[in-house]
Amino acid sequence: MSSSILSIRSSSIEDVPLILEFIKSLALYEKLSHKVVATEDKLRETLFGKTPAAHVIIGEINGKAEGFALYFYSYSTFLGQKGLYLEDLYVNKQTRGHGLGKALIFHLAQKAYTEGCGRMDWSVLDWNTASIEFYESLGANAQSEWIGYRLDHSALKIISEK
């Protein structure tokens, strides 16, 4: 694949089945398939509805979709400006190592920079050494001083009923 042509494009509503396929493949890789409850209908509504909650770019090699990145905008009160948060990055196993992951990250970094974002953030599972090494090779810094917290749907329900 040395003469491969890499391209990045914005997703469209017609990509919803592909996006769900990538999400399921990512969950399988991360050993979290049991957590996927997303459906095509939910993705259509939340990604392409009246108020999109996130955006997706599709990475292609020689015109074939081989990966994706899902991102949304955040805000830093310390910086006083928006940021870009990369929620998911995935490249099909058989095409890893050909630069598509790097192309997706670079595309989003350029987007963040040109849109005036103060930073770009993401998280990685602590056991995923291949991804950690990849991100660090790009110059990314681990944010070990922060501990992530989450209220899942059931916890939100409990709190909302108090």
Q: Give catalytic residues, as residue numbers.
A: 135
Q: Could you give the CA distance from residue 65 to residue 2 in angstroms, rounded to a whole number?
A: 17
3-state secondary structure 119-152: CEEECCCCCCHHHHHHHHHCCCCCCCCCCCCCCC
Q: Are strands 81-91 and 120-122 parallel, antiparallel or unpaired?
A: parallel
In our burial notation (b when 16+ CB lie closer than 10 A, e otherwise), range 109-139 reads bebbeeeebbebbbebeeeeeebeebbeeee
